[in-house]
């Protein structure tokens, strides 16, 4: 999140002083089959902000204008930051569930992305029940406050079958539990960059008849496309979705990361370089 400080001669979309944001997608080749089909998130040359390109924790960054987004005035800088990351990936995950109004959705894990997805679902699918699975009571309470129809632990049985679910946990046990809760033809979308090895053996509990038979599906989410971010920002401004944020100074980055690890989460954490 920031303002355009200087621009190249051929810049058309933005002018100096415009308020813009940059997401996880820093660039993609634009020529391969994936890019041409709108799946630039799968491009072999996908470059990520903060991983392949500097700028994640920086005061200044350089970005091609096609990969920057105008930020709606409705949002403060701190509110916009999680929209560009957790919100946009949550939007993509929700899109990949293929859900419709009235379908029950399970949110497995309830961090930054989960709480924004909940707000999107409430707006887009008002007839749907949202069931939240989390191992911490504070997250379950937070989910109920935001309007979840039910919140329980990973192994608890929700009041109804799930037509779809989004898993944002780093573990395997919740994946198996979620598959067991899916309705026939249901889809589990896994929104996690990697899964831990620690509870890998939980997968052995998978029972084909109970957990996969009847056309249940699993689909992962990888990266993000510009279309997802652009569409999501417009939707977020329209609803509007105001993310719950906790701000940290850059020097407190390690503390923020430690709290994430310890699941001390309420909404999204934002690092600020200007305070
Ligand atoms: Zn490409």
* Domains 2-85+224-272 and 87-220 agree in fold: no
Query: Per CATH, the architecture of 87-220 is what?
Result: 3-Layer(aba) Sandwich (3.40)
Please give, one letter per residue, the 3-state secondary structure of the chain: CEECCCCCCCCCCCCCCCEEEECCEEECCCCCHHHHCCCHHHCCCCEEECCCECCCCCCCCCCCHHHEEECCCCCCHHHHHHHHHHHHHHHHHHHHHCCCCCCCEEEECCCHHHHHHHHHHHHHCCCCCEEEECCCHHHHHHHHHCCCCEEECCCCCCCCCEEEEEECCCCCHHHHHHHHHEEEEEEEEECCCCCCCCCHHHHHHCCHHHHHCCCCEEEECCCCCHHHHHHHHHHHHHCCCCCCEEEEEHHHHHHHHHHHHCCCCCCEEEEECCC
Q: Residue 13: what pLDDT?
A: 95
Q: Can you tell me the distance from the alpha carbon of 263 to that of 266, in angstroms, rounded to the nearest whole number?
A: 9
Q: Residue 242: what pLDDT?
A: 85
Q: Can you tell me the distance from the alpha carbon of 180 to that of 183, in angstroms, rounded to the nearest whole number?
A: 8
- CA of 227 from ligand 1 middle (Å) equals 14
Q: Residue 260: what pLDDT?
A: 87
Q: Residue 259: what pLDDT?
A: 92
Could you report the average pLDDT of every consecutive run of 10 residues in the chain (275 residues)?
A: 94 95 96 96 96 91 96 92 92 97 97 90 97 95 96 96 97 97 98 93 96 98 95 93 91 93 83 89
Question: Using an 8 Å Cβ cutoff, are 154 and 185 in contact?
Answer: no
Measured CA to CA in angstroms, residue 196 lies from 114, 131, 167, 173 at distances of: 19, 24, 14, 11
- CA of 223 from ligand 1 middle (Å) equals 13
Q: Can you tell me the distance from the alpha carbon of 145 to that of 226, in angstroms, rounded to the nearest whole number?
A: 32
Question: Using an 8 Å Cβ cutoff, are 117 and 93 in contact?
Answer: yes
Question: Using an 8 Å Cβ cutoff, are 114 and 140 in contact?
Answer: no
Question: Using an 8 Å Cβ cutoff, are 14 and 3 in contact?
Answer: no
- CA of 191 from ligand 1 middle (Å) equals 21
Q: Residue 274: what pLDDT?
A: 87
Q: Residue 243: what pLDDT?
A: 85
Q: Residue 94: what pLDDT?
A: 97
- CA of 35 from ligand 1 middle (Å) equals 4
- CA of 40 from ligand 1 middle (Å) equals 6
- CA of 28 from ligand 1 middle (Å) equals 5
Say which CATH topology domain 2-85+224-272 has: Quinone Oxidoreductase; Chain A, domain 1 (3.90.180)
- CA of 36 from ligand 1 middle (Å) equals 7
- CA of 55 from ligand 1 middle (Å) equals 21
- CA of 259 from ligand 1 middle (Å) equals 36
pTM: 0.91
Question: Using an 8 Å Cβ cutoff, are 58 and 43 in contact?
Answer: no
- CA of 42 from ligand 1 middle (Å) equals 7
Residue 144 has φ and ψ, to the nearest 5°, of: -65, -40
Q: Where are the domains of the chain?
A: 2-85+224-272, 87-220
């Amino acid at each position: 999140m920031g303002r355009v400080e200087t621009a190249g001669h051929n810049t058309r979309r933005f002018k100096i002083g415009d308020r813009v944001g940059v997401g996880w997608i820093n660039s993609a080749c634009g020529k391969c089959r994936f890019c041409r089909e709108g799946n630039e998130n799968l491009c072999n040359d996908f470059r990520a902000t903060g991983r392949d390109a500097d700028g994640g924790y920086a005061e200044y960054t350089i970005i091609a204008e096609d990969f920057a987004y105008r930020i709606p005035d409705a949002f403060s800088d701190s509110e916009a930051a999680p929209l560009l990351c957790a919100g946009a990936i949550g939007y993509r995950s929700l899109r990949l569930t293929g859900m419709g109004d009235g379908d029950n959705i399970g949110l497995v894990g309830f961090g930054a992305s989960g709480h924004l997805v909940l707000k999107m679902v409430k707006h887009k699918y008002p007839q749907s029940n949202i069931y939240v699975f989390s191992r911490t009571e504070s997250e379950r309470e937070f989910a109920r406050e935001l309007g979840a129809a039910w919140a329980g632990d990973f192994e608890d049985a929700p009041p109804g079958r799930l037509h779809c679910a989004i898993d944002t946990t780093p573990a395997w046990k919740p994946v198996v539990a979620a598959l067991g809760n899916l309705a026939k033809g249901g889809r589990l979308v896994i929104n996690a960059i990697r899964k831990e090895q620690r509870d890998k053996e939980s997968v052995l509990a998978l029972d084909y008849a109970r957990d996969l038979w009847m056309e249940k599906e699993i689909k992962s989410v990888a990266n993000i496309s510009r279309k997802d971010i652009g569409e999501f920002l417009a939707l977020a401004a329209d609803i509007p979705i105001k993310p719950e944020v906790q701000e940290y100074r850059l020097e407190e980055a390690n503390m923020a990361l430690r709290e994430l690890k310890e699941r001390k989460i309420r909404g999204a954490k934002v690092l600020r370089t200007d305070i």
